[in-house]
Amino acid sequence: MTAPDLPPLDAAVLPAGIRARFVAGVNGLRMHVLEAGHGEPGRPCLLLLHGFPELAYSWRKVMPALAEAGYHVVAPDQRGYGRTAPGPVAYEADLAPFRMHNLLLDVLCLLGALGRERVAAVIGHDFGAWVAGFCALARPDVFGSVVLMSAPFVGAPTRDALADSLTPPAQDPIHAALAGLPRPRAHYHRYFASPAAAPDMDGSPTQVAAFLRAYFHHKSADWPGNPPHPLSGWTAEALAEMPTYYVMDLGRSMPATVAPEGPEDGGAGCAWLTDRELGVYATEYARTGFQGPLQGYRCRMDGSLARDLGRFASRRIEGPALFVAGRRDWGPFQAPGALERMGTRACADFLGCHVVEGAGHWVQQEQPQAVSDLLLAFLRSHAAGPALRA
Residues that are catalytic: 126, 361
235-to-115, 161, 306, 334, 336 alpha-carbon distances in Å: 48, 21, 21, 11, 10
Helix (H, G, I), strand (E, B) or coil at 132: helix
Residue 124: strand pairing partners: 49, 148
Contact 198, 285 (CB under 8 A): no
- Distance separating alpha carbons of residues 343 and 351, to the nearest angstrom: 8
Question: Residue length, the chain?
Answer: 390
- Distance separating alpha carbons of residues 254 and 198, to the nearest angstrom: 10
- For the chain, counts of helices (H) and of strands (E): 16, 10
Helix (H, G, I), strand (E, B) or coil at 243: coil
- Distance separating alpha carbons of residues 220 and 262, to the nearest angstrom: 11
Omega into 53 within 30° of 0, i.e. cis? Answer: yes
- Distance separating alpha carbons of residues 330 and 220, to the nearest angstrom: 10
User: Which bin fits 115, alpha (ψ -120 to 50), beta or left (φ > 0)?
Assistant: left
Give the up-direction half-sphere exposure of residue 255: CA atoms within 13 A in the CB hemisphere. Answer: 15
Q: Is 44 exposed, middle or buried (0-12, 13-18, 19+ CB in 10 A)?
A: buried
Sign of the four-CA dihedral 28, 299, 309, 344: positive
